[in-house]
Structure 1
Amino acid sequence: MPILRLAVALSALAYGSYTDWRTRTAPDSCWLAMGAAGLIILATEMVEEDWDPALLLMLIPIGWFFFDLLIERRGIFEGGVNVPPLALYVVSMAIIAWFFLDHYHEERFWALLSVPLMFLLYFVLYIIDVIKGGADAKALIALSLLIPWYPVMDGLPLLPLPSDVAQYIMPFSLLTLFYGAILTMVVPVYYFILNMVRGDRRFPSMFFGVRMDISEAKKRFVWPMDYIDGDEVRTSSLPKGPESLEEHFASLESKGLTRIWVTPKIPMLIPLTLGLVIAAVVGNVIFFFI
C-alpha cells in the first residue's frame, strides 16, 4: 500500500505541477483522483488488516468532508435549506460524536480522526492566507487522505519515527508542507546570485525578483514589484498583485519606465512535490533532533 499511495500522489502532484507551471492553474481532477484513491486504499487496508468493522463508518465523514471541500455546491442555507449536504453533515458529526463516546480509547479511531483534522488545518491556513493558492490547499487536503500515515518501505524512510504516536503529532502531509516551505528558501538565494551576475544590485529587491523589460513582463507569469505611489515610483519586495496587470503596466509606462523589477509566480506545487519525495525517502528530521 505505501508504494501505491506514493505512486498516486507523485503522479497527481507532478501533473498538477506541470499544468500549474504552464498555465498557473491546476485541475481539481488531480486532487479528486487522489482523494478517491485514498478512500479506496484506506477502506481496503482496514478490511485486510482486520480493523474493527465499526470504524468503517468513519469513512463517511472523512469522504464527505473531503468532497465537500473540493466540489462546488449551493450553500446549505442559500435560497432555502439545501437538505442533502445538511443531512450529510448531521450524519457525519453524529458518527464522530458516537466514536468519541464509545471508541475514544482506540488508537485507530484517533488515526482516522487525524485525517479530517488535517483538512480543517489546511482550510484554515488557506483562509488566513498562510497557504496562498487554492490548488496548494486542495493538494494538501487530498494528500492527507491519500497518505494519512507515514509510508514505510524496505529501508525507507531513512529516519524512522520514534513512535507510532509521532505521526499524529506531525502527520505526513504536514511534513511534506514543511519540506516544501524549506525548499522555497532556495529561491531568494538563486535570485541573489543571478542579480549579482547581471549587475542588478538593489537591496532587498534582488532577493525577491529580477529586472525585466515591461514588454517581456506582459508575456510572463510575474507580479510587478514596482508601483506608482502619487508621483513617485516605489518598489515592494512582497507585492500582492494588482487587480489589473494591464492597467498597472500602463501606469508604469506612463512614467517612462521600460524595465522594472518583477517577481515570478512560482507554483508552490513544485516544492510540495519535491517535499513529498524528501519526506518519503528521508523521513522526519524534526523528530531526529528532538
Structure 2
Amino acid sequence: MTSLPDLLRLVVVPALGWAAYRDVRTRRVPNDLWAPLALLGVVLLVWEAFSRLGDPYLSVWALRVALSVGIVAPLALAFWYVGGFGGADAKAFMVLAVLLPTYPTYQIDSVWLPIVTTDVGVFSLTVLTNAVLVALAYPLALAGHNLLRGEFSWVAFLGREIPVDEVPSHHGSLLETPDGFTRNGLDLDALRMYLRWRGVSLAKLRANPALRDPATLPEEPNEPTDGAVLADGSGDPWGAAAFLDDIDSSAYGTTPDQLRAGLDVLIAADEVWITPGIPFIVPTFFGLLLALTVGDLLFAVLFAVGLV
C-alpha cells in the first residue's frame, strides 16, 4: 500500500504547479513557498528513518537520501551561481532533494507508479533529468513553429516574433538590435523599469521619438520597480546612462548600449523577435509529473535502445 509519507509528499505537485504558473506570468515566485515544503521534507525523512529502524535496507535508503541532499541540492545551487538556474528554479530543486530523495510508490488499481525506476534510486535526480529532457523539447517546438512560417535562421530555435505593442506584457529579452539579430538583447524587465522610471509607455515613445533626447527626462524620476509585469545629456540618447546611474539596481545586467539599441528597435519596428525565456521551473513541474507516473525518461530511452 502507498505509505502516508508518500501521500503527504504529493502536496509538492500543486505547490510546484502554482509556482510554475506564477513564474511564467510574473517571473516572480514568493520565497515563503519553499520553507514549509522543506520543513515537511525534513519531518517526513525523520518519520521514515524511525519507521525503518531494524530494516536491513536502512543503509541503502540512507545512502540514497544522502546522495539526493548531498549532490542534487548543491548541484542546483551551483547552476544558480553560474546563471543556469533562476533563484526559484534552484530553490525548487533544493526542496525536491529533501522532500523526494527516494522513489515514492503509488498504487492505482493494480498498477504501481512510477513505472520506470533506476538502480540508483535517487528520485530528485530523476526529476532533474526529466526536466532537462522536457526543456530540450521547447526549442524544438519553437523551431517547428517558426520553420512553418518560413524562418530558417538560428533565431528560429530561440524565440518568436510578436507585435511591438505586446512587448510590455511579455518576459524574456529582445533578439534584435538595429544591426540585426543578437543573443544579448535588451531584457524586457529592464525595459519596463526604464519606462516606469520615465513615466511613459512604450506606445508614447513610439508616437514621439523626440523623447530620445535626454533633455526630456523627468526632473523627478518615478520608482522603476523591479520590472515585473503588473496587472503596467546629448551624449546619452534616451537617457539610458542617466537611468542606470539613478536607480539602485543593475537592471538585470543591462548596459546603456543595450538599452539604447533595444529602444531604437522598438520605436522603428512593428514586430520584433523575443526569446520567451521560459523559466526552468516549468519543465521541472512537468518533469515531476512524468517522474511520478512514467518514471525516469532517460533510463527508459536507454533501456529501449539496449544501452542499459
Pair in the same fold by TM > 0.5: yes
* Mapping 1:120-199, distance limit 5 Å: 120-130=74-84, 132-154=85-107, 155-161=112-118, 163=119, 166-167=120-121, 171-199=122-150
* Mapping 1:94-105, distance limit 5 Å: none
Give the corresponding residue for 1:236: 182
* Mapping 1:1-290, distance limit 5 Å: 1-5=5-9, 7-50=10-53, 106-114=59-67, 115-130=69-84, 132-154=85-107, 155-161=112-118, 163=119, 166-167=120-121, 171-199=122-150, 201-228=151-178, 233-237=179-183, 241=187, 244-245=190-191, 246=194, 247-248=259-260, 249-253=262-266, 256-288=268-300, 289=303, 290=308
CA RMSD, 1 decimal: 2.6
Give the 3-state SS of the residue equivalent to 1:183 in structure 2: helix
Deviation track 1:211-268 (CA, whole Å, cap 9, x = no partner) reads 122222122223100024xxxx1212575847832535322246x3332211113222
Offset of residue 143 of structure 1: 0.5
Give the 3-state SS of the residue equivalent to 1:26 in structure 2: coil
Offset of residue 157 of structure 1: 1.7
Deviation track 1:193-228 (CA, whole Å, cap 9, x = no partner) reads 3324444x1411122111122222122223100024
Give the 3-state SS of the residue equivalent to 2:177 in structure 1: strand
Deviation track 1:54-104 (CA, whole Å, cap 9, x = no partner) reads xxxxxxxxxxxxxxxxxxxxxxxxxxxxxxxxxxxxxxxxxxxxxxxxxxx
Deviation track 1:156-189 (CA, whole Å, cap 9, x = no partner) reads 221233x4xx12xxx2112112111211222223
| CA distance, structure 1, for counterparts of residue 19 and residue 142 of structure 2 | 25
- The one-letter amino acid of 1:118's match is V
TM-score by length of 1: 0.68
Give the 3-state SS of the residue equivalent to 2:45 in structure 1: helix
Offset of residue 22 of structure 1: 1.8
| CA distance, structure 2, for counterparts of residue 19 and residue 176 of structure 1 | 20
Offset of residue 29 of structure 1: 2.0
Give the 3-state SS of the residue equivalent to 1:189 in structure 2: helix
Give the 3-state SS of the residue equivalent to 1:42 in structure 2: helix
- The 3 A distance-change label for structure 1 pair 198 and 187 is same
TM-score by length of 2: 0.65
| CA distance, structure 2, for counterparts of residue 240 and residue 184 of structure 1 | 23
Offset of residue 285 of structure 1: 4.2
| CA distance, structure 2, for counterparts of residue 20 and residue 185 of structure 1 | 19
Offset of residue 142 of structure 1: 0.3
- The one-letter amino acid of 2:127's match is T
| CA distance, structure 1, for counterparts of residue 144 and residue 117 of structure 2 | 36
Deviation track 1:83-135 (CA, whole Å, cap 9, x = no partner) reads xxxxxxxxxxxxxxxxxxxxxx94455334321332222111221223x2110
* Paired residues of 1:204 and 1:237 also in contact (CA < 8 A): no
Give the 3-state SS of the residue equivalent to 2:275 in structure 1: strand
- The one-letter amino acid of 2:46's match is A
Q: Which 5+ residue runs of structure 2 have no aligned equivalent?
A: 195-258
Q: Which 5+ residue runs of structure 1 have no aligned equivalent?
A: 53-104
Q: How many percent of aligned residue pairs carry the same amino acid?
A: 25
Give the 3-state SS of the residue equivalent to 1:10 in structure 2: helix
Deviation track 1:1-57 (CA, whole Å, cap 9, x = no partner) reads 22221x1210210111121122111112222121011011111112222269xxxxx
